[in-house]
Structure 1
Amino acid sequence: MPLNACLTGFAKPIASSQIVFATDRGSATVLGVRTAETNGGNLLADSFLHAYSTRAAGANLPAAGSANPVVALQNGGGIRQNGGVTLPTTGAAGAISRGNTFDLLPFDNRLVAITSVSAADIKETLERSCSVGTSGGGQFLQVAGMKVTCSRAGTAIVVSNPTGDSYAGNVTTVGTRVKDVTLLDGRALVKDGAVVANAPAVTVVTNTFTADGGDNYPTLAKLVKVGFGVSYEQALYDYLLSFPKNAAGLPEIPSSDVRYSKTTGDGRFTWLP
């Protein structure tokens, strides 16, 4: 039957990893994608940057570079645990199948780019991410292309409930949890809680759910989007295929990749008390 053939195909390995990626939801006591940086969240956010690098020209978007810094955002709620709480799903180094990537990223979320996003809009967006309590929330963002520091001692942003057909409400209390946001080239967008004057605008790559205001993100919802025509799962699939092949002929993430070698990630997000 066609369905069985499809499922058989999805079970075949497409890549391999010497690293185990943390993809659990998380809680006040368990590391997870809805509470803090994880290497699994980093992998997914990095796949968005890879998608931009390979598809921007086809979407008439400028190349990433110093004149066009590109960052990526993936909401923790869009990362699911249908196949388990790790990737590979066995909890050990090994094969990754297409079925695994669909289990992890099952929604019909498409990649979009939002160009010329100001540092103020980046800060307000990250304030929404950092408004989560210690038990986490689906709006917590896994990031790439920048380093972010937030403090729970600050005031959490408050956004009113959406009305009508809108995904997002309006900011009713300004957040003060975002302390620092720095691009990978060292340029600061936010320093000591304040937006940096003359900070560069950036391009944000994210999924359609978050871009349209899902999880109550009012800032992104107001901005213009350019679609890539691929799903967030396709972005991960393509990224996995980009790694060098092992002796068995499968693309493999090596244990030496410092972006992912630690379960807690490479330090691109920091929670302060």
Structure 2
Amino acid sequence: MTSPRTKRLSGLVAVAALAASGAAFVGGSSQAAANGPTMDIQLLSFNDFHGNLQAPSGSSGRVVTDHKLVTDPKTGVVSAADVTTDAGGSEYLATHLADARKGHPYSLTVAAGDLIGASPFLSAAFHDEPTIEAMNALHLDASAVGNHEFDEGYKELQRMANGGCLDDGAGANNQDSCPGGKTFTGANFDYLAANVVYSGTDKTILPPYTIKNIKGAKIGFIGMTLKDTPSIVTAAGVAGLQFKDEVATANALVPVLKSQGVNAIVVLIHQGGTPNQQVWYGPDNKPYTVNPTYDYTCAKGGSLAADSPILPIAKGLDPAIDMIVSGHTHQPYVCNVPDPKGQQRMVTSASSFGRLFTDTDLTYDRRTQDIVRTSVKSANMVVSRDVPKDPAQTKIITDYSALARPIASRVLGRIATDVTRAGNPGGESQLGDLIADAQLADPSVVTGGRKPEIAFMNPGGIRADLTYAYSPYGEAPGDVTFEEAFTVQPFNNYLVSLDLTGAQVKQLLTEQWSGSNAGTGKKILQVNKAFSYTYSGTTLGAVTLNGQPLVDTQTYRIVTNNFLQGGGDNFPTMAKGTNVYYGGLDIDAFANYLEASSPYTPGPLTRINVG
């Protein structure tokens, strides 16, 4: 592993040190001898783990492995349904990786970002320190940073890499760094951020690449996040940083690596693609359009959608780059995409939440000091739960579960029925209503006696349903614990109040389906009870507050989270608000509202309507 001193360097200084160190985890053994002019090397990879130490539940903990025909008992209509397998959890991921390394004396394990951020409570309650410990324990060698690595700001990301404890009041805000006297030493793997620099400089916030030396076989790994990260994270977390173009950044590093004798190059990038739907022929020999199985794209005839962001990147990266490990879209695929010279080049992604990993075998030619491109063979593997749990991962989960219990099990209030993210035709959801009302009711955003009138919540920030029957700590059905509430809103965003004119509010609403959000699917902002609007297609209709039309020239007090306030999710008008005032955490407002409104019953979905 890279030494602690080397690990803490950034930019080209770190690159030189890493190249000199020649460090690598080699299949659990550094003593195996290389054989002949070529050597076989294994590369294991995954992405978008998001702190899922415990096996994820629901659809987040399943992968599509097959399809079947089902008949509706009432109508007799025959349709195709997914056959799924439960998958994921660090205890199983670690075991599968260890098993995959057997028989492969030369093995490296890498990731394509979003290891942390938007994490379940067990990891997030401790600033994702448990996840970094888990990644160390499963012998991760290197990872690109993703957009969610910036959720708590780039300085916190640097702490994830370098170690150290936060003075956060020992759980005062439902988070506790280094609990119970623990120490946090940071990542034993290389966190890479080639395209993230301090504004006005060429200095990267973390090393841009690392060189792994396996018995003289040098492989360079360039790590990057998507250049659009500033539009999907909190503005304050990336203030003072510049995110550079992915293709230009990687291509500029190719000669830098070659100058150090590195011809074998792999890009780890937090940007990805979306598989097209699968056409499946059932036992009746009829075609059905279905969700693709985890291994359908591209090995079994599947393909990536033409508008997949990874495709122009893959087609633009220097032909000297031998392979691309991608992420961000949470999709599974293993595809050959031609490089600028028309050569096939492997591009992979292993879904998310530790449900899959990609197993790649490749041949390294010692004479050319390069990867034999035609030798690269990759396949996604299911992290099934029918294997023994890894003891080291179990200990991490057990230890932190005990430390988290006092925070996690506190009952906030009750719900009378399930409260879900499912939207009406206009995109309004029960949970969206609840969260927007909670934001509006929060006293922490009141300033100068001015209370907000309109609340906006981004739908992507609502991460789970509240389920009446769920009782993880033995509480009564309907009781909502802090952990359940946190799982709904896991970002620890701050609430912010600000002024917008009526015209700006209308412009904000049109940005749900225009500008950078055009063609990506509507991002329907959730709103509070007194505010409503209609739309048809991409045309905004009536907009009212307390039953009265919004006045373009009038100023309205708005409340939202700091992610949206900074223009996140491509809502630039929000960033133009004036008289900005920061309040408390969004999870606290949600918790307080649940307590005050218990038992909570969702109302009719009448705030957002399609005209």
Name the residue aligned to 2:507.
124
Q: Aligned partners of 2:518 and 2:572: how far apart in 1? A: 19
Which residue in 1 is equivalent to 2:525? 141
In 1: Cα distance, 2:552 partner to 2:450 partner: 24
- TM-score, normalised to structure 1, is 0.66
Partner of 1:182: 544
Taking the aligned partners of 2:594 and 2:448, their CA distance within structure 1 comes to 23
Q: Does 1:269 align with 2:608?
A: yes
8 Å Cα contact 1:150-1:270 kept in structure 2: yes
The answer for the alignment partner of 2:347 in structure 1 is none
* 5+ long unaligned stretches in structure 2: 1-178, 181-399
- 34 and 108 in structure 1: CA distance in 2 versus 1, 3 angstrom threshold: farther
Check if 1:205 corresponds to 2:559: yes
Superposition map of 1:146-225 within 5 A: 146-152=531-537, 154=538, 177-184=539-546, 186-189=547-550, 196=551, 198=553, 200-224=554-578, 225=580
Are 1:17 and 2:415 counterparts? yes
Q: 1:37-186 maps to which residues of 2 (within 5 A)?
A: 37-51=428-442, 54-57=443-446, 60-64=447-451, 70-81=453-464, 85-88=465-468, 90=470, 94-115=478-499, 117-131=500-514, 136-137=521-522, 139-144=523-528, 145-152=530-537, 154=538, 177-184=539-546, 186=547
Unaligned runs of 5+ in 1: 24-30, 155-176, 190-195, 244-250
Shift of the 78–147 alpha-carbon distance from structure 1 to 2, 3 Å rule, reads same
- Bigger relative CO (Cα 8 Å, ≥ 6 apart): 1
Residue 128 of structure 1 deviates from its aligned partner by: 1.2
In the alignment, the residues of structure 1 paired with residue 436 and residue 429 of structure 2 have an alpha-carbon distance, to the nearest angstrom, of: 11
Is the 1:80–1:104 contact (alpha carbons within 8 Å) kept by the matching residues of 2?
A: yes
1:271 partner amino acid:
V
Number of aligned positions between the proteins:
205
- 2:589 equivalent to 1:235: yes
Closer/same/farther in 2, CA of residues 93 and 270 from structure 1, 3 Å limit: farther
Q: Deviations over 1:165-203 (max 9, x none)?
A: xxxxxxxxxxxx21111001x2211xxxxxx465x3211
Alignment counterpart, residue 226 of structure 1, candidates 577, 581, 584:
581
Change (3 A) 1:141 1:6: farther
1:206 aligned partner, one-letter code: T
- After TM superposition, give the deviation of residue 93 of structure 1 in Å: 6.2
Corresponding residue of 1:169: none
What is the CA-CA distance between 1:130 and the residue it aligns to?
4.4
1:112 to partner: Cα distance: 0.2
What is the deviation of 1:221? 1.2
Maintained 8 Å contact 1:35/1:135: no
CA distance in 2, matches of 1:4, 1:227: 32
Q: CA-to-partner distance for each residue in 1:75-126, whole Å, 9 max, x for gaps? A: 0011113xxx3444739961111001111101131100012x1111000001
SS at match of 1:252: coil
- How far apart, CA to CA, are the structure 2 residues paired with 1:147 and 1:13? 32
Work out the CA distance in 1 between the residues paired with 2:456 and 2:524. Answer: 9
Q: Deviations over 1:233-256 (max 9, x none)?
A: 11100111112xxxxxxx422x4x
Counterpart residue number, 2:125: none
Q: Distance in 1 between matches of 2:490 and 2:581?
A: 22
How far has the Cα of 1:38 moved from its partner?
Answer: 1.2
The residue number in structure 1 matching 2:184 is: none
In 1, distance between residues paired with 2:437 and 2:428?
Answer: 13
- Give the Cα–Cα distance (whole angstroms) in 2 for the partners of residues 89 and 123 of structure 1: 39
C-alpha deviation, 1:223, in angstroms: 2.2
The equivalent of 1:4 in structure 2 is 401
3-state SS in 1 of match to 2:559: strand
Counterpart amino acid of 2:459? Answer: G
State how far apart, in whole Å, the 1-side matches of 2:525 and 2:469 are.
22
Structure 2 length-normalised TM = 0.31
CA RMSD of aligned residues (A): 2.9
Identity fraction in percent:
27
Q: Residues 227 and 197 of structure 1: is their aligned pair in 2 closer, same or farther, counting only changes over 3 Å?
A: closer
**Which of 1 and 2 has greater Rg?**
2
Whether contact under 8 Å (1:18, 1:94) holds in the other structure is: yes
